[in-house]
Amino acid sequence: MKPIYTTLFFLSLILLIGCQDPSKEKITKVITSHENVTIICNPSKGNNLFSSWGTFPNKEESIRRIFMEVSLGHPDSIDIAHWDYMDPIRIGRIGGTKGDTLDLEIGKMLTPYGSNFKKDWRWRWRIDVTDLASILRDSVEITYNHTGYEGANVGWDLNISFDLELGDPIAEQLSYRKLYDGGFSYGNPEKPISASLTPKTITREKGSEFGRLRILHTGHGMDKPKGCSEFCSRWREVLVDDNVIDHRDMWKECADNNLYPQGGTWIFDRAYWCPGDLQAPDVIDFPITKDTHTIDFEMEPYTAEENIQAYESISAILFQYGQPAKANDVSLEQILVPNNAPELNRYNPANVEPKIIIKNLGRDVLNSLTVTYKTKGFEEKTFEWTGELEFYEEAIIVLPGTIDYAFGENQFNVQLEKPNGKVDQWPQDNTKTSVFTSPNEMPNKVVITYQSNNAPEDNTVRIIDTNNKLIYEKTPANTLKNTLYKDTLNLNLGGYRMTLDDTANNGLEFWFNPKQGFGYLQISDIDGRVLHRFESDCGIGEQFDFTVNENPKIDRNVEQSLIKLYPRRIRKNTELLVQLEEFSDGEIQILKDGALQKTIPFKKVKDKTFDIDMSSFEDGRYVIELFVNGESKLKQRISKQNK
């Protein structure tokens, strides 16, 4: 006979599970508007609309957060596109085909230079669009406007979806109003931007506590003398009742882009955008304290002298809200480290210092917080955070200590508790889990191979351990240009971080600067097997965390071949260095806009430098792709110009 206490235990457990408050569980929905849509340019117009409908919850269902996710991939039927175009994403009609047309911009997608990307390439971006929650209801038309002048034989595979978190709104939205929307001439003495960005008077809604400006803003064009607006830094001010509430430099560093390397000038800083970027909006809150307020945008005064074509693409929507619904409400926005997400590749994998992003969604200033974190299967750790976060402000928290892991795939869990020492009034967004792969394992004896380029004064190579102790360093002071260095290290057991830093933000190689030459950096075992190879075209540099074990599990998937195409900005000739593990057959293809121009076959090659003569080719941009035994080993863009 089964003991009665066992039966009672399981009965109690069932009742406990069954009686849990369902409101404590996060409820989510995913709405897809565009799924595997092949988008191409319309060169006769310079833009091409791709519209599709999404069915969102009705107005009776409460929505707490909405995030828009956009992904681009290599199309199945055509080649991938090459150019960095600004593609607006807008809400078109609402309520069906006969409904109202709103034409509200909700995102700006800046396409990457795609010529280097292979058939299996795909990337995703994600931004917060919660402020549009009152509009994203029932049937909504989402329009993706692919701009540019490329031919119909190249394009992208597009997906757009919306991740919804259902539940109490952070604050009640009372109204919205479009303030500015368009391309505004900049630096044109006959059409000053101040004449277009005129002040707007707003009227307070009943119960309104604060206003929120949601701004999407990029600069384009190439005038003289400053290269505005794409390549010139200029400031923008937002004023309320003639008082500046926001001043910022409309400029963005691009050499730290997570999507790298790209085919074009991806490292060049730009006018508040970078190639391969879904722009996150500027969100600026201000108190509404009287019946009317005046809002004004001002740009840094500037007058172009030649090639007057600069413009500022600006959309700004004003939302009015009641007071935030909760006093103490914090959200765990993202686990940055450790995390396998491709867009976080600049930080991962890592041995130390987990990183998270938190956001204060409560009306009280957030001054303290308890963070508990652990890798599944390991001991839980606790960190007491203190700081000062106003409503809707974010902070990156670096958690102390090493990251626990088993070899292979792991789960990392984080939970937020006790904002300001009190119970979080919306705990459903206080936990997250990330999946991460443990850092590579290495033997204790390794060889560091460093081929410097023609500008070694820009580069530093370092190895530190988890206690931040310097183990190895190659600085500009002890490095000659265009020189091969090989150093053998005997490392103790434990974790390490190896970094390549570039103060010029152009890596060991960048096609636009052929005089820079090219270099490379790799770690090998004493038998010559490559254990890790750094990307030479890496902008600001790279970091690589690894661990030394007595019996390391070596990654056998590391590419052993050394393949370099240099130079990639040419008048007549370029060279392709091919060093393979064994004698192999293959071919070199030269393409232009996806069309094959020339094939160079080869047989039984192991170590050879191919001289590729392109003197008979017309000027333009080409792609050179190397196939070895049918597998694509290299795909890079080159620019041929006789001038």
Per-residue pLDDT of 553-577, as tens digits, reads 999 889 899 999 999 999 999 999 9
The CATH number covering residue 60 comes to 2.60.120.230
Domain-located, residue 257: yes
| Mean pLDDT of all residues in 37-41 | 98
Q: What is the rounded distance in angstroms from the CA atom of residue 161 to the CA atom of residue 30?
A: 7
For residues 204 and 119, state if they share a domain: no
| Mean pLDDT of all residues in 166-173 | 97
Confidence of residue 4 (pLDDT cuts 50, 70, 90): very low
For residues 271 and 208, state if they share a domain: yes
Domain-located, residue 14: no
For residues 31 and 53, state if they share a domain: yes
Domain-located, residue 554: no
pLDDT digits (tens, 9 = 90+) for 224-241: 999 999 999 999 999 999
The count of structural domains within the chain is 5
Rounded (to 5) percent helix, strand, coil in the chain: 5, 55, 40
For residues 158 and 177, state if they share a domain: no
Q: List alpha helices for 311-360, DSSP H.
A: none
Domain-located, residue 121: yes
For residues 267 and 310, state if they share a domain: yes
Question: Quick one: 85 exposed, middle or buried, by C-beta within 10 A (0-12, 13-18, 19+)?
Answer: buried
Torsion of CA 265, 270, 275, 277, to 10 degrees: 160
Run of H or E including 125: strand 122-128
Residue with tokens 């406007």: 145
Which pLDDT belongs to residue 24?
64
Domain-located, residue 17: no
Q: What is the rounded distance in angstroms from the CA atom of residue 381 to the CA atom of residue 370?
A: 11
| Mean pLDDT of all residues in 127-146 | 98
Q: What is the rounded distance in angstroms from the CA atom of residue 44 to the CA atom of residue 39?
A: 15
| Mean pLDDT of all residues in 256-266 | 96
pLDDT digits (tens, 9 = 90+) for 457-516: 999 999 999 999 999 999 999 999 999 999 999 999 999 999 999 999 999 999 999 999
- Taking a C-beta distance cutoff of 8 angstroms, is the pair 193, 182 a contact? no
For residues 290 and 338, state if they share a domain: no
Domain-located, residue 144: yes
Q: Which of 389, 415, 438 is the last residue of a domain?
A: 438
Domain-located, residue 2: no
For residues 184 and 71, state if they share a domain: no
pLDDT value at 613 more than 60: yes
Token digits of residue 335: 């686990």
Residue with tokens 């929120």: 212
- Taking a C-beta distance cutoff of 8 angstroms, is the pair 363, 391 a contact? yes
* Greatest C-alpha distance within the chain: 96
For residues 156 and 221, state if they share a domain: no
Task: Find the domain containing 587 and state its range.
Answer: 562-640
Residue with tokens 């060169």: 43
Q: Which of 283, 303, 324 is the last residue of a domain?
A: 324
Which pLDDT belongs to residue 15?
33
pLDDT value at 587 more than 60: yes
* β-strand pairing of 79-80 with 154-166: parallel
Domain-located, residue 624: yes
The percentage of residues in the chain with a pLDDT greater than 70, rounded to a whole number, is 96
Token digits of residue 36: 């595997």
Contacts of 617 (CB under 8 A, 6+ apart): 590, 597, 640
The CATH number covering residue 628 comes to 2.60.40.1930
For residues 144 and 57, state if they share a domain: yes
For residues 294 and 353, state if they share a domain: no
pLDDT value at 8 more than 90: no
Which pLDDT belongs to residue 2?
35
Q: Which of 404, 438, 472 is the last residue of a domain?
A: 438
Can you say whether the dihedral through the CA atoms of 149, 154, 156, 157 is positive or negative?
positive
| Mean pLDDT, rounded, of the chain | 94
The CATH number covering residue 508 comes to 2.60.60
Give counts: helices (H), strands (E), the chain.
Answer: 1, 40
pLDDT value at 447 more than 60: yes
pLDDT digits (tens, 9 = 90+) for 183-214: 999 999 999 999 999 999 999 999 999 999 99
Q: List alpha helices for 371-503, DSSP H.
A: none
| Mean pLDDT of all residues in 418-446 | 97
Which pLDDT belongs to residue 3?
39
Which pLDDT belongs to residue 594?
83
Token digits of residue 363: 């009306």
Instruction: For residue 132, report the phi and psi dihedrals to the nearest 5 degrees.
Output: -95, 10
* β-strand pairing of 541-548 with 494-502: antiparallel
Measured CA angle at 613 (ends 608, 619), to 5 deg:
140
- Taking a C-beta distance cutoff of 8 angstroms, is the pair 338, 436 a contact? yes
Confidence of residue 10 (pLDDT cuts 50, 70, 90): very low
Pick the closest to residue 563 from 496, 622, 618, 518 (CA basis): 518
Which SS3 state, helix, strand or coil, does residue 466 take? coil
The CATH number covering residue 394 comes to 2.60.40.10
For residues 288 and 339, state if they share a domain: no
For residues 54 and 154, state if they share a domain: yes
The end-to-end CA distance of the chain, in Å, is 95
